[in-house]
Structure 1
Amino acid sequence: MSSARRRRDRVLVHLTELHELPLGGGPEAAFKERLRAELLSGRLTLEPEAPEVPEAPAKGRRRARRRPLLSQLAAMGLAAAMTVSSFATYQAMPGDSLYPLKRAAESTLVRLSTDDAERGRRELDSAKTRAEEVASLLGSSVEGPLLDKTLKDMEESTRAGISRLERTEPRSPKIKNFARDQKEAVKPMLTQLGEAQLAQAEGYLDYIEGLAEPE
């Protein structure tokens, strides 16, 4: 495995650990110390490549072109930056100034996933996070449009994740388990929702209830 791939995997592991923290929680001291040590040692940074020494092109032979690494460097740099800054963003809520960065970190986790099955699981993790955010927004002074959008984002992440898993792991118990857990999270909120939000949440519950296999 190349050193760049190993660094990418370390960044992905750290982002995953931060993403799995409960809202309002914080990273453990051991995690902070491990990340600090890796950053200081340079294990999460990209080493510059040695400059290419130009060679005189042989007759009848095309000079090989190096594949641009700009997109890869940008993705790795963004992931590393998000790993560090996630200490301040993992508990951001809709409406907070750092919330867009939290969502960007989630999107990065999805993009860095190795296959569609993993992307699907991460989409469902995002849907669970949106449900937690909806619960936190209820009764707050900022719920209004933010609550509507968070409910919508929850459904979009759910449908995207389920679609990926149904293609790659159609018999996976993760689908049924997700539907059960999400139903338990969303159903208690119904009595606190407005009319439009209630219709949205009930439609969502109808969708995920259909995902569970009959007993």
Structure 2
Amino acid sequence: MLNDIARQSLAALRILLTFTVILGVAYPVTVWAAGQAFGDRADGQPITIDGQVVGSRLLGQNFHGEEWFHSRPSANDYDTLASAPSNLGPSNTDLLALIKERRTSIAQTESVEEDQVPPDAVTASGSGLDPHISPEYAAIQAPRVAEANSLDLDRIEQLIDENTDGRTLGFLGEPGVNVLELNLAVQDAARDA
């Protein structure tokens, strides 16, 4: 009987060690190595300037100031740990009031009529971390950003075009402008001017 217990315990220990090596070492190393084949995509596509990470191509950030293009609103204040929508339905009076308030504020800031403010300027994305805005939202911000950076409006519009991503596979989704990349391009253009 004792011999059977010892034999079964040794077999269980061998199975434990084998699966620990396979699932605890070999599998994670294989997944990590496969991810490295995709370069920075496996690391969240960080954007670095002078060796300092300033953001990610995949996560929206909040930009303050007249010299920057502004992102979509976020239901979670751009907190990556709380990535989620607001859970307010389309007929919720609080959401409708918030949208009206945002539309009025953006119309005043951008010197446009309220009906010219695009939907993505007043509504948060499902994750609250969308790094893109519509080309229409970028276009109404262009005059403010051009003036604040002492750049020609044509130059800002060119930067918007250069930083606009097309539809995925040519037919999925809508074109979008990556706000962080656009702001970095504006910063470079202002520095060179």
Please give the range of the TM-score, normalised by the shorter of the 2 chains: under 0.3
Structure (1 or 2) with the greater helix fraction? 1
When normalised by structure 2's length, the TM-score is: 0.26
Q: Which has the higher contact order (CA 8 A, sep 6+)?
A: 2
Structure (1 or 2) with the greater strand fraction? 2
When normalised by structure 1's length, the TM-score is: 0.24
Report which of the two structures shows the higher radius of gyration computed on alpha carbons: 2
